Amino acid sequence: MQSPPVSELLIEAPANRHFAQLHRDPAALTDAVTLYLEIGLRRGNGVVVIASPEHTDLFLDRLRTDELDPGAFLKSGQLELHDAELTLRKFMRNDMPDWEDFRHAMASIFERVRAFGRGTTRAYGETVNLLWQEGKQEAAIRLEEFWNELAQSYSFSLFCGYMLDVHNEHAYTGPLEEIGRTHSDIIGTPEDERFRAALDAASRDVFGVPLSEMVGFARPRDSGEQRFPSGQRTMLWVKRNLPSASGAVLERARRYYDELLLPS
Protein backbone atom coordinates (compact mmCIF):
# COMPACT_ATOMS: atom_id res chain seq x y z
CA MET A 1 0.00 0.00 0.00
CA GLN A 2 1.39 3.40 -0.99
CA SER A 3 2.05 5.83 1.84
CA PRO A 4 -0.11 8.96 1.84
CA PRO A 5 1.61 12.19 0.78
CA VAL A 6 2.95 14.44 3.52
CA SER A 7 3.68 18.12 3.53
CA GLU A 8 7.24 19.35 3.41
CA LEU A 9 6.21 21.91 6.02
CA LEU A 10 5.77 19.15 8.60
CA ILE A 11 9.27 17.88 7.86
CA GLU A 12 11.24 21.10 7.48
CA ALA A 13 9.15 23.36 9.79
CA PRO A 14 10.69 26.64 8.58
CA ALA A 15 11.09 29.43 11.11
CA ASN A 16 8.10 31.76 11.42
CA ARG A 17 5.80 29.63 9.28
CA HIS A 18 2.37 29.34 10.86
CA PHE A 19 0.35 26.55 9.32
CA ALA A 20 -2.84 24.66 10.06
CA GLN A 21 -4.49 21.41 9.08
CA LEU A 22 -8.20 20.56 9.31
CA HIS A 23 -8.93 16.98 10.36
CA ARG A 24 -11.98 14.75 10.68
CA ASP A 25 -10.05 11.72 11.94
CA PRO A 26 -7.90 11.67 15.12
CA ALA A 27 -5.69 8.98 13.53
CA ALA A 28 -4.86 11.27 10.60
CA LEU A 29 -4.15 14.09 13.04
CA THR A 30 -1.82 11.79 14.99
CA ASP A 31 0.04 10.85 11.81
CA ALA A 32 0.68 14.49 10.88
CA VAL A 33 1.56 15.77 14.35
CA THR A 34 3.84 12.87 15.21
CA LEU A 35 5.80 13.35 11.99
CA TYR A 36 6.26 17.03 12.86
CA LEU A 37 7.30 16.29 16.45
CA GLU A 38 9.49 13.27 15.75
CA ILE A 39 11.64 14.95 13.13
CA GLY A 40 12.10 17.95 15.38
CA LEU A 41 13.18 15.82 18.32
CA ARG A 42 15.60 13.79 16.19
CA ARG A 43 17.14 17.00 14.85
CA GLY A 44 17.58 18.45 18.32
CA ASN A 45 14.92 21.15 17.98
CA GLY A 46 13.06 22.37 21.02
CA VAL A 47 9.49 21.04 20.84
CA VAL A 48 6.35 22.40 22.51
CA VAL A 49 3.01 20.56 22.53
CA ILE A 50 -0.12 22.38 23.73
CA ALA A 51 -2.93 19.87 23.25
CA SER A 52 -5.70 17.94 24.91
CA PRO A 53 -4.47 15.15 27.22
CA GLU A 54 -6.16 12.58 24.95
CA HIS A 55 -4.32 13.79 21.86
CA THR A 56 -1.04 14.15 23.74
CA ASP A 57 -1.28 10.50 24.82
CA LEU A 58 -1.78 9.47 21.18
CA PHE A 59 1.28 11.46 20.10
CA LEU A 60 3.48 10.03 22.86
CA ASP A 61 2.37 6.47 22.17
CA ARG A 62 3.28 6.89 18.51
CA LEU A 63 6.70 8.31 19.42
CA ARG A 64 7.34 5.25 21.58
CA THR A 65 6.28 2.99 18.71
CA ASP A 66 8.88 4.79 16.60
CA GLU A 67 11.50 4.05 19.27
CA LEU A 68 11.71 7.52 20.76
CA ASP A 69 11.48 7.89 24.53
CA PRO A 70 9.43 11.02 25.34
CA GLY A 71 10.57 10.80 28.96
CA ALA A 72 14.18 11.41 28.00
CA PHE A 73 13.28 14.53 26.01
CA LEU A 74 11.07 15.82 28.80
CA LYS A 75 13.86 15.29 31.32
CA SER A 76 16.40 17.11 29.15
CA GLY A 77 14.07 20.09 28.64
CA GLN A 78 13.99 19.69 24.86
CA LEU A 79 10.28 18.77 24.99
CA GLU A 80 7.50 20.47 26.94
CA LEU A 81 3.88 19.27 27.17
CA HIS A 82 1.01 21.58 28.13
CA ASP A 83 -2.71 21.01 28.54
CA ALA A 84 -4.52 23.20 25.98
CA GLU A 85 -7.46 24.02 28.25
CA LEU A 86 -5.30 24.91 31.23
CA THR A 87 -3.06 27.03 29.01
CA LEU A 88 -6.07 28.94 27.69
CA ARG A 89 -7.08 29.88 31.23
CA LYS A 90 -3.80 31.74 31.67
CA PHE A 91 -4.66 34.41 29.11
CA MET A 92 -8.43 34.41 28.47
CA ARG A 93 -10.30 37.44 29.83
CA ASN A 94 -14.05 37.84 29.26
CA ASP A 95 -14.00 35.15 26.55
CA MET A 96 -11.21 36.87 24.59
CA PRO A 97 -7.45 36.33 24.75
CA ASP A 98 -5.44 39.08 26.43
CA TRP A 99 -2.23 39.99 24.61
CA GLU A 100 -0.06 40.75 27.65
CA ASP A 101 -1.09 37.60 29.48
CA PHE A 102 -0.61 35.52 26.32
CA ARG A 103 2.80 37.00 25.62
CA HIS A 104 3.94 36.40 29.17
CA ALA A 105 2.72 32.77 29.23
CA MET A 106 4.20 31.85 25.84
CA ALA A 107 7.46 33.76 26.33
CA SER A 108 8.27 31.77 29.45
CA ILE A 109 7.75 28.51 27.53
CA PHE A 110 9.83 29.51 24.51
CA GLU A 111 12.63 30.92 26.65
CA ARG A 112 12.96 27.60 28.47
CA VAL A 113 12.73 25.34 25.44
CA ARG A 114 15.15 27.20 23.21
CA ALA A 115 17.77 26.95 25.97
CA PHE A 116 17.72 23.15 25.62
CA GLY A 117 17.13 22.77 21.89
CA ARG A 118 18.97 23.92 18.81
CA GLY A 119 17.64 25.50 15.67
CA THR A 120 14.03 26.53 15.23
CA THR A 121 11.61 25.60 18.00
CA ARG A 122 8.64 23.53 16.83
CA ALA A 123 5.28 24.23 18.48
CA TYR A 124 2.03 22.35 18.01
CA GLY A 125 -1.14 23.90 19.45
CA GLU A 126 -4.84 23.16 19.94
CA THR A 127 -5.94 26.19 21.96
CA VAL A 128 -7.49 27.76 18.86
CA ASN A 129 -9.33 24.52 18.14
CA LEU A 130 -10.85 24.54 21.63
CA LEU A 131 -12.15 28.07 21.12
CA TRP A 132 -13.52 27.20 17.68
CA GLN A 133 -15.33 24.13 19.01
CA GLU A 134 -16.90 26.27 21.75
CA GLY A 135 -18.30 28.65 19.12
CA LYS A 136 -15.81 31.38 20.01
CA GLN A 137 -14.47 31.85 16.49
CA GLU A 138 -13.67 35.54 16.97
CA ALA A 139 -11.53 34.68 19.98
CA ALA A 140 -9.81 31.88 18.03
CA ILE A 141 -8.89 34.23 15.20
CA ARG A 142 -7.66 36.88 17.64
CA LEU A 143 -5.45 34.22 19.21
CA GLU A 144 -4.07 33.25 15.80
CA GLU A 145 -3.19 36.92 15.28
CA PHE A 146 -1.44 36.96 18.66
CA TRP A 147 0.68 34.00 17.57
CA ASN A 148 1.72 35.96 14.48
CA GLU A 149 2.73 38.90 16.66
CA LEU A 150 4.71 36.63 18.97
CA ALA A 151 6.67 35.33 15.96
CA GLN A 152 8.24 38.79 15.66
CA SER A 153 10.07 38.13 18.95
CA TYR A 154 10.76 34.38 18.83
CA SER A 155 11.95 32.03 16.12
CA PHE A 156 9.52 29.12 15.92
CA SER A 157 7.28 27.20 13.56
CA LEU A 158 3.68 26.71 14.64
CA PHE A 159 1.37 23.88 13.59
CA CYS A 160 -2.29 24.44 14.56
CA GLY A 161 -4.59 21.41 14.56
CA TYR A 162 -8.32 21.91 14.00
CA MET A 163 -10.77 19.02 14.39
CA LEU A 164 -13.36 20.01 11.78
CA ASP A 165 -15.45 17.80 9.52
CA VAL A 166 -15.09 19.67 6.23
CA HIS A 167 -17.56 17.23 4.65
CA ASN A 168 -20.28 18.69 6.87
CA GLU A 169 -22.11 21.94 6.12
CA HIS A 170 -21.67 23.05 9.74
CA ALA A 171 -17.92 23.51 9.16
CA TYR A 172 -18.66 26.28 6.66
CA THR A 173 -21.13 28.24 8.79
CA GLY A 174 -18.28 29.92 10.68
CA PRO A 175 -15.65 32.27 9.22
CA LEU A 176 -13.48 29.43 7.93
CA GLU A 177 -11.70 31.75 5.50
CA GLU A 178 -10.31 33.65 8.51
CA ILE A 179 -8.27 30.56 9.38
CA GLY A 180 -6.70 30.91 5.95
CA ARG A 181 -6.05 34.62 6.42
CA THR A 182 -4.20 34.19 9.71
CA HIS A 183 -1.95 31.33 8.56
CA SER A 184 0.90 31.21 6.09
CA ASP A 185 -0.29 27.81 4.86
CA ILE A 186 -3.22 25.39 5.15
CA ILE A 187 -1.99 21.83 4.71
CA GLY A 188 -4.16 19.44 2.77
CA THR A 189 -4.88 15.85 3.77
CA PRO A 190 -4.66 12.72 1.59
CA GLU A 191 -8.46 12.64 1.27
CA ASP A 192 -8.81 16.15 -0.15
CA GLU A 193 -8.50 15.28 -3.84
CA ARG A 194 -11.12 12.57 -3.42
CA PHE A 195 -13.39 15.12 -1.73
CA ARG A 196 -12.93 17.56 -4.62
CA ALA A 197 -13.85 14.84 -7.11
CA ALA A 198 -16.92 13.99 -5.04
CA LEU A 199 -17.95 17.64 -5.08
CA ASP A 200 -17.60 17.71 -8.86
CA ALA A 201 -19.78 14.61 -9.20
CA ALA A 202 -22.40 16.07 -6.84
CA SER A 203 -22.49 19.41 -8.64
CA ARG A 204 -23.13 17.67 -11.94
CA ASP A 205 -26.30 16.32 -10.38
CA VAL A 206 -27.35 19.67 -8.89
CA PHE A 207 -26.15 22.17 -11.50
CA GLY A 208 -25.28 20.07 -14.55
CA VAL A 209 -21.64 21.20 -14.49
CA PRO A 210 -18.63 20.34 -12.26
CA LEU A 211 -18.00 22.85 -9.50
CA SER A 212 -14.30 23.00 -10.41
CA GLU A 213 -15.31 24.56 -13.75
CA MET A 214 -17.64 27.06 -12.07
CA VAL A 215 -15.06 28.07 -9.49
CA GLY A 216 -12.51 28.58 -12.21
CA PHE A 217 -14.41 31.64 -13.46
CA ALA A 218 -14.47 33.34 -10.05
CA ARG A 219 -11.61 35.01 -8.21
CA PRO A 220 -11.48 34.40 -4.44
CA ARG A 221 -12.19 37.40 -2.25
CA ASP A 222 -8.85 37.26 -0.51
CA SER A 223 -5.62 35.33 -0.28
CA GLY A 224 -6.81 33.54 2.85
CA GLU A 225 -9.32 31.56 0.84
CA GLN A 226 -6.66 30.65 -1.71
CA ARG A 227 -4.59 28.89 0.95
CA PHE A 228 -7.11 26.07 1.42
CA PRO A 229 -6.85 22.72 -0.38
CA SER A 230 -9.01 22.38 -3.50
CA GLY A 231 -12.05 20.69 -1.94
CA GLN A 232 -12.33 23.11 0.95
CA ARG A 233 -11.67 26.08 -1.34
CA THR A 234 -14.49 24.89 -3.59
CA MET A 235 -16.92 24.71 -0.68
CA LEU A 236 -15.93 28.18 0.48
CA TRP A 237 -16.84 29.41 -3.00
CA VAL A 238 -20.22 27.65 -2.76
CA LYS A 239 -20.84 29.13 0.68
CA ARG A 240 -20.24 32.63 -0.69
CA ASN A 241 -21.91 32.35 -4.11
CA LEU A 242 -24.55 29.61 -3.78
CA PRO A 243 -25.37 29.40 -0.05
CA SER A 244 -28.85 27.94 -0.55
CA ALA A 245 -27.39 25.01 -2.51
CA SER A 246 -24.46 24.17 -0.24
CA GLY A 247 -26.38 21.63 1.84
CA ALA A 248 -27.62 19.70 -1.19
CA VAL A 249 -24.19 19.67 -2.79
CA LEU A 250 -22.47 18.42 0.37
CA GLU A 251 -25.08 15.73 1.01
CA ARG A 252 -24.59 14.31 -2.48
CA ALA A 253 -20.81 14.71 -2.26
CA ARG A 254 -20.70 12.65 0.95
CA ARG A 255 -22.63 9.92 -0.82
CA TYR A 256 -20.19 9.86 -3.73
CA TYR A 257 -17.24 10.00 -1.34
CA ASP A 258 -18.43 7.21 0.92
CA GLU A 259 -19.70 4.90 -1.77
CA LEU A 260 -16.73 5.44 -4.11
CA LEU A 261 -19.10 6.38 -6.94
CA LEU A 262 -16.69 8.82 -8.50
CA PRO A 263 -16.62 9.30 -12.29
CA SER A 264 -13.67 7.74 -14.08
d(CA 184, CA 19): 6
pLDDT class of 216 with cuts at 50, 70, 90: low
Side chain identity at residue 252, one-letter code: R
Q: Report all structural domains of the chain as residue ranges with CATH numbers, in order of start.
A: 8-189 (3.40.50.300), 194-259 (no CATH)
The three-class DSSP label of residue 150 is: helix
- Which of these, 54, 231, 132, 245, lies nearest to 33 by C-alpha position? 54
Q: Reply yes or no on whether the pLDDT at 4 is more than 50.
A: no
- Which of these, 149, 157, 164, lies nearest to 120 by C-alpha position? 157
**pTM of the predicted model, to two decimals?**
0.91
Question: What's the angle, vertex CA 70, arms to CA 69 and CA 74, rounded to 5?
Answer: 130
Please state, for a pLDDT cut of 70, what percent of the chain lies above it.
Answer: 93
d(CA 214, CA 242): 11
Q: Reply yes or no on whether the pLDDT at 215 is more than 60.
A: yes
d(CA 227, CA 178): 11
d(CA 10, CA 39): 9
pLDDT class of 6 with cuts at 50, 70, 90: low
Rg of the chain in Å (alpha carbons) = 19
Q: Reply yes or no on whether the pLDDT at 102 is more than 70.
A: yes
DSSP 125: E
DSSP 220: -
pLDDT class of 264 with cuts at 50, 70, 90: low
d(CA 173, CA 239): 8
Q: Reply yes or no on whether the pLDDT at 113 is more than 90.
A: yes
The three-class DSSP label of residue 158 is: strand
Q: How far is CA 5 from CA 40, 58, 78, 189, 190, in A?
A: 19, 21, 28, 8, 6
What integer pLDDT is reported at residue 2 of this predicted model?
A: 40
Q: Which residues fall within 8 angstroms of residue 195, CB to CB, at 6 or more apart? A: 166, 167, 231, 232, 253, 257
Residue 29: burial class (beta carbons within 10 Å; 0-12, 13-18, 19+):
buried
Q: Are 236 and 176 a contacting pair, CB within 8 Å?
A: yes
Strand-pair partners of 187: 21
DSSP 50: E
